[in-house]
Amino acid sequence: MIVLDVSGMKGEACAKKVQEAVSARDPAATVVVSQNAGRLSADTTLSPDEAVEAVRSAGYGAVFAFKA
């Protein structure tokens, strides 16, 4: 599981867009986004860099926080 810190989310629609951006690159991923915490957790085959790029391509800031 990887965890990203995500910036720029203003509401549930933003959180859904972030979730869908990662899921589009790994349809089998389990992705949970906490808009309030500004955090994304994903059980995915994507590398941290790939997940960060997916979030950034959706228009949000993202940095790798840690791998659990």
- The pLDDT tens digits of the residues spanning 5-52 come to 999 999 999 999 999 999 999 999 999 999 999 999 999 999 999 999
pLDDT confidence band for 68 (50 / 70 / 90): confident
- Asked if 38 contacts 9 with a C-beta cutoff of 8 angstroms, the reply is yes
Please tell me the distance from the alpha carbon of residue 18 to that of residue 20, in angstroms, as a whole number: 5
Residue 23 structure tokens: 């899921």
pTM for the whole structure: 0.94
Work out how many domains the chain is built from and give that number: 1
The token pair at 35 is 């808009």
Residue linked to tokens 């899921």: 23
- Residue 6 sits in a domain whose CATH number is 3.30.70.100
3-state secondary structure of 37: coil
Residue 51 domain boundaries: 2-67
Sign, CA dihedral 40-9-24-28, equals: positive
